[in-house]
Amino acid sequence: MAGVSTSGPAIETILLEERRYEPPPDFAAQANATPDIYDQDFEQFWETEGRERVTWFQDFEKLYEWELPYAKWYVGGQLNVTYNCVDRHVEAGNGDKVAYHWEGEPEDERRTITFADLQRDVVRFANALKKLGVGKGTPVGIYMGMVPELPVAMLACARLGAPHTVVFGGFSADSLSGRLNDMECELLITQNEGLRNGAAVPLKQNADEALDDSPGVKQAIVYRRTGGDVQMKDGRDLWWHDVVEGESDDPSSCPCEPMDAEDLLYLLYTSGTTAKPKGIVHTTAGYLVGVATTHHYIFDIKPDSVYWCAADIGWVTGHSYIVYGPLCNGTTGVIYEGVPNYPDKDRWWQIIERYKVDILYTAPTAIRTHMKWGPEYAEKHDLSSLRLLGTVGEPINPEAWVWYREHIGADRTPVVDTWWQTETGMILINPLPGVTTLKPGSATKPFPGIDAAVYDEQGNEVGPGGGGYLVLRRPWPAMLRGIYKDDERYRETYWSRFEGVYFAGDGARIDEDGDFWLLGRVDDVMNVSGHRISTIEVESALVDHQKVAEAAVCGRKDERTGQAIVAYVTLKGGDEGSIDMLEELRNHVATKIGPIAKPANIVFTPELPKTRSGKIMRRLLRDVAENRALGDTTTLADPAVVEEIKERASTESAQED
């Protein structure tokens, strides 16, 4: 192992957060995790979880094989993901248990789907797919909104052993065709239209355009979500309701295909900034054990839990913690089709009250949006069923963490801030509720069995208080099994920065207690007068101001300092901002962090550019700050936002140091 570095930190960390929240005794007394979980042997832990968490058709012979940079887990074992997520729960007598409460965006559209209902739907659709020639190894593309038929399609594919790639419903036709062609998909499952913010999303229209450039796709199945008319191409396009008509829903008519532990379950494409998206490979057994195990301990899942992960299934969070992990654990989940403010800003809290949700897992950007709207929307609803809150997607700034706990969790619920990636498949750094002392803004400790560390530029481990590059030094069950058809890119992207360890691409620091604080993408570190400053820390300092709802920060070239800090700020209550507020915020950052971190420019904007999953597109903000042509804006929730920011940035008399 590399020695502790005595050289300067790769990333300086200067924001101090001293609030602490001990585990509530009543929560700790019933928690799934106990303190001794960290004392378990790595191999013993994952072997036990592998046997307890899933049902095997054939037991595994060996826990794992590690030939850097490729791992195999539960070697020799055979199982089926859909059997584990659906059939075994029905066989155990839990068919009447609710698998999903589905809430459509229109307020009067709701469905309750039991595990028995889910099994019937999956079997019928799998039989339909089988008749169309889909079988073990047939690659299938899925391009849908947040309807129950999306997990049905995924589970039907897994039942047959057909690997899938789900393409997020907000992606363009070009993005869809690129993914279909890379995976060599033979069939696409889509829907006529989606619904978002009261408007129709033209999924089939986009799919038609994509299929013009996807010659390998021979057929498309279209689920009718709305009454909207779409073109159906003879010989290629089939309606979902037509293909399932008359199909048997008896599980014995379509038995679950035994799959090898390392058979491909799905590809999920993660965008490259310049090159084509990377097809991240996730296989069967290690992935399922990893997501089910983390779901059980991190969210303290109980048999009667009503768990809501408010992500989109099109992202890895939805794959792991809406579909595969929760269903494997037999958990009742919530799926919501629409946006948080349709028809009003209290829609989420209405859903929590209606279904008595006890666990909510969402993104920091969503929390900051609710902060901007104000706590009064949550106060209109009974949220007393909530006993655990979680965050995912990017580091959460301490003020948003505290607001979330106080206004949504009634200042009593633990908040679990989780770090992981599309590539990791499962959560890797997180508190364990009932065990961990919580720190606003910190993801705290690696999950049991995960060997995470922070390295400096030279590959030496930094000591407590140091900042640098997050690495993982040991394989884990749900880890990616490469980039599809691109071994060289896999090695170069994740394994070339430091010898023998996985480089996550994120900055982090470790505090005096050994807890991890994520600092965002290394690409987002700014070099100001020789100081390497994380965007996350400056954003946290800005949002610490009582009038700031959201902030995003980036660097732009500066002849004097190398880079200057540019901040984009949204104020609470729709305030426009002023020269006085600009100076107040610059001084506030200087007080919280130091004069070196004062933004040179502040642009006030009513909205920040975000993807449909809620991530802030800092790359586009850098384009604005550098006065460059904008990069790809197709994944933005509202592409007009960035044009408005450009206009404001060019007209506001932002002060310079």
Cβ pair 558, 625 in contact under 8 A? no
Predicted confidence band of residue 323 (pLDDT cuts 50, 70, 90): very high
Q: What pLDDT shows up at residue 657?
A: 37
- What Cα–Cα distance (Å) separates residue 525 from each residue in 13, 269, 398, 553, 592? 11, 25, 19, 10, 18
In angstroms, the first-to-last Cα distance of the chain is: 44
Predicted confidence band of residue 2 (pLDDT cuts 50, 70, 90): very low
Cβ pair 371, 137 in contact under 8 A? no
Tally Cβ neighbours within 10 Å of residue 530.
Answer: 10
Angle between helices 42-53 and 285-298 (to 10 degrees): 90
Cβ burial of 177 (10 Å; 0-12, 13-18, 19+) is buried
pTM of the prediction? 0.88
In the block, tokens 């047959």 appear at 160
Q: What pLDDT shows up at residue 5?
A: 38
The tens digit of pLDDT for each residue in 341-351 reads: 999 999 999 99
Amino acid at 572: K
- Calpha distance 441→590 (Å, rounded): 20
In the predicted model, is pLDDT for residue 88 greater than 50? yes
**Sign of torsion over alpha carbons 65, 70, 75, 81:** positive
State the average pLDDT over residues 615-630: 84
- Calpha distance 444→427 (Å, rounded): 12
Nearest to 244 by CA among 206, 189, 287, 322: 189
Amino acid at 509: R
The radius of gyration of the chain's CA atoms, rounded to the nearest angstrom, is: 24
Q: Count Cα neighbours of 294 within 13 Å in the Cβ-side half-sphere.
A: 32
Q: What pLDDT shows up at residue 175?
A: 87
Asked, colleague to colleague, whether 19-80+258-522 and 115-257 share their fold, the answer is yes
Q: What percent of the chain has pLDDT over 70?
A: 95
19-80+258-522 folds as: Rossmann fold (3.40.50)
In the predicted model, is pLDDT for residue 153 greater than 60? yes
Predicted confidence band of residue 359 (pLDDT cuts 50, 70, 90): very high
Nearest to 348 by CA among 318, 381, 320: 381
**Sign of torsion over alpha carbons 435, 439, 441, 442:** negative
> Of 409-413, 487-491, 534-538, which range is least confident?
534-538
Q: What pLDDT shows up at residue 3?
A: 41
> What letter does residue 233 receive in the DSSP assignment?
-
Q: How is residue 655 written in tokens? A: 């002060």
In the block, tokens 């054939």 appear at 58
- Calpha distance 541→400 (Å, rounded): 11
In the predicted model, is pLDDT for residue 83 greater than 50? yes
Query: What is the DSSP track for 358-427?
Result: -EEEE-HHHHHHHHHH-THHHHTS--TT--EEEE-SSPPPHHHHHHIIIIISTTTS-EEE-B--TTT-S-
Cβ pair 592, 626 in contact under 8 A? no
* Angle ∠(635,290,293) on CA atoms, nearest 5: 115
CATH H-level superfamily of 529-651: ANL, C-terminal domain (3.30.300.30)
State the average pLDDT over residues 295-320: 97
The tens digit of pLDDT for each residue in 214-244 reads: 999 999 999 999 999 999 999 999 999 999 9
Q: Count Cα neighbours of 284 within 13 Å in the Cβ-side half-sphere.
A: 33
Q: What pLDDT shows up at residue 7?
A: 44
In the predicted model, is pLDDT for residue 493 greater than 70? yes
In the predicted model, is pLDDT for residue 86 greater than 50? yes
Query: What is the DSSP track for 284-348?
Result: SHHHHHHHHHHHHHHTT--TT-EEEE-S-TTSHHHIIIIIIHHHHTT-EEEEE-S-TTSSSTTHH
Nearest to 468 by CA among 1, 8, 2: 8
**48 Cβ contact list (under 8 Å, min separation 6):** none
The dotted CATH code for 115-257 is: 3.40.50.980
- What Cα–Cα distance (Å) separates residue 468 from each residue in 37, 441, 518, 525? 28, 17, 10, 10
93 sits in which H/E element: none
Q: How is residue 307 written in tokens? A: 């768990």
- What Cα–Cα distance (Å) separates residue 647 from each residue in 572, 577, 623, 642, 643? 21, 15, 13, 9, 6
Q: Count Cα neighbours of 28 within 13 Å in the Cβ-side half-sphere.
A: 13
Average pLDDT of the chain is 92
Cβ pair 118, 99 in contact under 8 A? yes
The tens digit of pLDDT for each residue in 368-386 reads: 899 999 999 999 999 999 9
Predicted confidence band of residue 609 (pLDDT cuts 50, 70, 90): confident
- What Cα–Cα distance (Å) separates residue 317 from each residue in 477, 610, 618? 16, 17, 21
The tens digit of pLDDT for each residue in 5-60 reads: 334 456 676 667 889 999 999 999 999 999 999 999 999 999 999 999 999 999 99
State the average pLDDT over residues 270-288: 84
The tens digit of pLDDT for each residue in 544-600 reads: 999 999 999 999 988 877 889 999 999 998 888 899 999 999 999 988 877 888 999
Sorted by where each begins, the domain ranges of the chain are 19-80+258-522, 115-257, 529-651
